[in-house]
Structure 1
Amino acid sequence: MPGTIDQDNLTRLMTREQERFVQTHPASQALHQRALASLNRGVPMVWMARWAGAFPLFVTSAQGSHFTDADGLDYIDLCLGDTGAMTGHSPAATVAAVTKQMSKGVTAMLPTEDAIVVGEALQQRFGLPLWQFTLSATDANRNAIRHARQITGRNKIVVHDWCYHGTVDETFAILDENGKTVSRPGNIGAPVDLNETTIVVNYNSVDDLERALQTGDVAAVLMEPALTNIGIVLPEPGYLDACRELTTKYGAVWIIDETHTLSVGPGGWTGTHGLKPDMLTVGKPIGGGVPCGAFGMTQEIADRIAVGVAKDDLDVGGIGGTLAGNALSLAAMRATLTDVLTPAAYEHMIALGTRWADGVDAAIAAVDAPWHCNRLGARGEYMFSEHAVRTGAEAFAAGDHALDEFLH
């Protein structure tokens, strides 16, 4: 928590660590210098530039819970590609399936049997009968939002303060100090005033949600069962039930994003706790790291969608894509869902996550720091607050960027 740390000493420690990092990573530094000539900021994707050191690590291999950098140094990877590799890097079953499919064809814009098997697996895990595929959870969220607008004839979506649902324009919004929906700091090139598309509410506030839905122009409520990108913020008892009841009452589509909460169990929070969403989105780990995404829906939603989809004669409806549902991604998803993300694997992962979180809590208690550790199935995360927070705003207020950067 800001104010409990000697900031001058933290700055000295950070400087020392940055100097040590440069000294011990000459190969990564050389690759970064070379990359600056052809890659913007010396990285293939801008997030990779947000590294606490002077340059990012360049990875040469990754297997299981470890990766190796260009300097031959081995790391235990507690991030796992921001859960893209939640299965561990390069799981054997996924590697074998992808290798085999590469020789049989990557994409033909036609279905394969793997698509059926994956659809059946997602049915079983999440309880929704009908599925479509994308190349990312972001695309799945975009598609779900468009369908919600299509079938309701409404424009706005409701999201939670400090949520994250990929690079979906409508979700880059927060509440300002006056409770007004505003663009999230750092939002680049917002296409329209977010007040035309988005209503932001506090997580765990039933009153906030009902006020938003009472406006009568909400197409969908898009939410994670637990917030995960501003620290882990868990739902209070009854909150998710209220979300289901209120969206039904006011005719809004309830969309659950399980991309990060898949750490809870084979069916994420939805399967573990019996949620009944209208639509559900997921991505990242279900393909073992191979680009993929999916969105599922009830039969009722599918029937309502079908009316409008029949009018899309030229593939310009804003749904789908040339590589969506490609053979390679589906082969990866089939292998990962069948042989990697199994109930037995979850038992093992959750036990490890519990052990890690308990150890972090013990370390915090040993130095009497006003912090705590939250756990979401196999996932654990420390937070610079003494007690669990209940909203995204509280989680943001508990942050200490300099300390977080040092610990990373």
Structure 2
Amino acid sequence: MTADIAAPCQTAIAGIRTDRLQAFVADENARFVAERPRALAAYENDSAAWLNRVPMHWMRDWPSPFPLVVAAAQDATLVDIDGHRLDDFCLGDTGSMFGHAPAPVTRAIRDQAARGLTYMLPSEAALRAGALMSDTFGPFRWQVTLSATDANRNALRVARAVTGRRKVLVFNGCYHGTLEDTMVELRSGRTIARRGLVGQGFDLTTGAVCVEFNDLDAVEDALKAGDIAAILTEPVMTNSCMVLPQDGFLEGLRGLADSHGALLIIDETHTQSSGYGGYTRQHGLRPDIFVIGKCVAGGMPMALWGMTDSVADRFAAYDADRPAGHSGMGTTLAGNPMQFACLEATLQEVATPQAFASMTVGAKRLATGLKTAIEAAGLTWHVVRVGARVEFICAPGPLRNGTEAAAAHHPKLEGALHLGLLNRGCLIAPFHNMMLVSPVTADAQIDRLIAAFADVLSALTGDTHG
């Protein structure tokens, strides 16, 4: 009881005492190291050739003392080289949203590998896949690339080409991949380059305007200048503590874009979790350009962007008149037949309406369980769900914009929660508190995650470290 009496004198993060948080992290770090000797040895002995000892810098963003080393992944389970089986709710940060190695996709990879890996020419599957994309996401004219970053980059080039304007309007706290055009934020009412960018060589604010999500007045004020080619937005803000659109906001963007001669680009890279056909189909949105990536080909690196007939016709006229030369769009390995084999298999057999229905039921189960655990712990946090995507946020909600989302983000606390869940056999996304339920995620896995979450909260709020 002495610790409880002293609690008001302790500093706290989102209702968790910092001394208890520090003790919890120390215990969990020690547990992680003790339970993963093979991963530690592999990391120490075999990784020196990589910058910061990892092939990609974000592999160090996990909250563990050193990264997991994966042996295999199947369905919604990941196995590390120390033999630990993890219930995987990260699923490659959406890249494997339908589960690891879906059977139709692995068959497509095996069959296509025997026919060649890249041609710079279309395959029969490539020709068929366009119709499947339109049937699923809407009647767009499609192009393909390797990542959603490139898809957004190309979409903006088209928008500038057909409007003759330079700037893009984005929302504070947005993320559209590592596209330089959108790496801006709102600070004291001004658009500035995001802090922390590496080697930034030119002024990003000459090509971008940043306003708050859910603020149609600010959007309209920015559009009045007449120099904005496109509004680029996710229908739900992700990667920044999830922020839902308020009633009428997305419809308002459509109207404002039309009124001021700008295009509306909807980036569904993360929000494909909303349901069959993404948030756009589920909610009847009408973008001029539609971007999709991550899991669209069942885990094979692929993204697509499609434009309406009207925009395609405008672009065709522009393209016919431009000087001959490099367009600045496209990469050699994009459009390879392996991508299309996987895309066709995913759209036909994996990302079905039935799969999304199952995912949504499981996600509702998860969201309800997390809410119950938070209430039992006496915390004022909240849970947000968009289809199969669930996120706990260590602050009251709902959040309205990027500024509120940034204030709700508590990296030290979230890192502790992630590490605690990992040590209890549950993997969630490292960059935020996102969890995905796949069509092959079992109820038992969901229940284990809920129990692990409740156990971590008990350790952080109870007398375990008091």
TM range (shorter): over 0.9
Match of 2:32 in 1: 21
Q: Give matches, 1:325-344, under 5 Å.
A: 325-344=335-354
Please say which structure displays the higher CA radius of gyration: 2
Per-residue Cα deviation, 1:186-215 (whole angstroms, up to 9, x for no partner): 222223212101100100000111011111
The residue type paired with residue 39 of structure 2 is S
The residue type paired with residue 309 of structure 1 is D
Contact kept, 8 Å, 1:147 with 1:305, in 2: the verdict is: yes
How far off is 1:126 after superposition?
2.1
Matched, 1:254 2:264: yes
Match of 2:453 in 1: none
SS in 2 for 1:310: helix
How far off is 1:90 after superposition?
0.4
Q: Give matches, 1:98-247, under 5 Å.
A: 98-176=109-187, 178-247=188-257
Give structure 2 stretches of 5+ with no counterpart. 1-11, 419-466
Match of 2:104 among 93, 99, 106: 93
- Higher relative contact order (Cα pairs below 8 Å, separated by 6+ residues): 2
Match of 1:321 in 2: 331
Contact kept, 8 Å, 2:117 with 2:338, in 1: the verdict is: yes
Distance 1:273 1:397, change over 3 A: same
How far off is 1:152 after superposition?
0.9
How far off is 1:392 after superposition?
1.2
How far off is 1:138 after superposition?
0.8
Counterparts of 2:82 and 2:320, CA distance in 1: 55
Q: CA RMSD in A?
A: 1.3
SS in 1 for 2:306: strand
The residue type paired with residue 50 of structure 1 is D
Match of 2:365 among 340, 355, 362: 355
The residue type paired with residue 237 of structure 2 is L
How far off is 1:254 after superposition?
0.5
Match of 1:46 in 2: 57
Contact kept, 8 Å, 1:2 with 1:398, in 2: the verdict is: no
Per-residue Cα deviation, 1:267-301 (whole angstroms, up to 9, x for no partner): 10101111110001011111111110000101111
How far off is 1:312 after superposition?
6.7
Contact kept, 8 Å, 1:232 with 1:376, in 2: the verdict is: no
Contact kept, 8 Å, 2:241 with 2:408, in 1: the verdict is: no
Contact kept, 8 Å, 1:284 with 1:293, in 2: the verdict is: yes
How many residue pairs are counted as aligned between the two chains?
407
Per-residue Cα deviation, 1:75-114 (whole angstroms, up to 9, x for no partner): 0011100000001000000000011001101111011121
Counterparts of 2:415 and 2:82, CA distance in 1: 22
Counterparts of 2:14 and 2:78, CA distance in 1: 35
Matched, 1:269 2:279: yes
Give structure 1 stretches of 5+ with no counterpart. none
SS in 2 for 1:188: coil
Matched, 1:7 2:25: no
Contact kept, 8 Å, 1:158 with 1:201, in 2: the verdict is: yes
Contact kept, 8 Å, 1:2 with 1:399, in 2: the verdict is: no
Distance 1:379 1:113, change over 3 A: same
SS in 2 for 1:192: coil
Match of 2:73 among 62, 82, 85: 62
TM-score by length of 2: 0.85
Per-residue Cα deviation, 1:364-394 (whole angstroms, up to 9, x for no partner): 1111201010000001000012221110110
Distance 1:264 1:400, change over 3 A: same
How far off is 1:19 after superposition?
1.2
Per-residue Cα deviation, 1:106-159 (whole angstroms, up to 9, x for no partner): 111011121222211221222233101001111100000011111111111001
SS in 2 for 1:123: helix
Contact kept, 8 Å, 1:108 with 1:326, in 2: the verdict is: yes
Counterparts of 2:165 and 2:278, CA distance in 1: 29
SS in 2 for 1:82: helix
Match of 1:79 among 74, 78, 90: 90
Counterparts of 2:354 and 2:406, CA distance in 1: 35
Match of 1:407 among 386, 402, 417: 417
SS in 1 for 2:16: coil
Match of 2:429 in 1: none
SS in 2 for 1:60: strand
Match of 1:300 in 2: 310
How far off is 1:311 after superposition?
5.6
Per-residue Cα deviation, 1:7-55 (whole angstroms, up to 9, x for no partner): 1110111011111111111111112113432111111111101121221
Contact kept, 8 Å, 2:266 with 2:287, in 1: the verdict is: yes
